[in-house]
Amino acid sequence: MARERIKIGVTDSGFGGLSVLGELSNTIPEADYVYYGDLLNAPYGNKPPEQVYTFIDEICKFFMGRGVSAIVVACNTATSVAINQLRKKYPVPIFGMEPAIKPAVLENPDQKVAVLATPLTLKEEKFMRLEKSLEAYTILKPVPCDGLATIIDTGDIEKAREYLQPIFKNLEQEKIEILVLGCTHYVLIKSLFYDWNKNVKLYDGNKGTANHVRRIIIPLPIEGESKLDLFLNGGREEDFEIAYNYLNNQNTNERNYVK
């Protein structure tokens, strides 16, 4: 009897989770994937935590109906507000995102580190707990990027570049060249950060998450090409084009790599 490929559900409020999906597919090519982008309810970063939990809970129900063996909540905001409740409720392993603040701080002692994330992520207890555990009050600079994820979901890279200009200017004034991308959306536009400063050090949690998923689920080696089912809640034809463009432009040699 032929063995079935393991199936992993990956979700985000929009396209940011595609950066995580790219890392997962490189790390676990033996798996099939179901991606659910919740465009209809995006962005999550400025919504009440209770509402974000409701959205993710419905998506997990959708994944269970698709027969997934694991779920990756590829959204820092949703991870912060919902992951513990979801793990208690569902019988499959559920993985979340961890902003790569710890490696950024430990690998660059006494240097300032900017954390770019949604306003909700920066307000959540998880961020504050991590900041406290690292005793990093004086070196961490939270940079709320309200609205940037929405711009990235439109596929308008030049508008994203324009959005980032005042942030870059402020970072230059404070001489900060170490950045944590605390939203999976921002990983899709890494090139803009390198265009701004070729010496910038970028940290994100995608590679660490993918490695953690592989360690836990230990998929069996199965030949054949990995399959992807792409669902976009509220998505139009042009949204699918944007999604596939992001997927096709994932540079695995640069993504999640600190230059």
Catalytic residues: 75, 183
Are 256 and 206 within 8 A, CB to CB? Answer: yes
Nearest to 37 by CA among 17, 60, 54: 17
Q: Are 150 and 43 in contact (CB under 8 A)?
A: yes
From its phi and psi, is residue 147 left (phi > 0), alpha (psi between -120 and 50) or beta?
Answer: left
169: number of Cβ within 10 Å: 11
Alpha carbons 234 and 119: distance in angstroms, whole number: 24
Q: Under a CB-based contact definition with an 8 Å cutoff, are residues 18 and 188 in contact?
A: yes
Tell me whether residue 199 is exposed, middle or buried, using C-beta atoms within 10 angstroms of its C-beta: 0 to 12, 13 to 18, 19 or more.
exposed
Q: Are 44 and 24 in contact (CB under 8 A)?
A: no
Q: For residue 177, what are its two tokens?
A: 């060249």
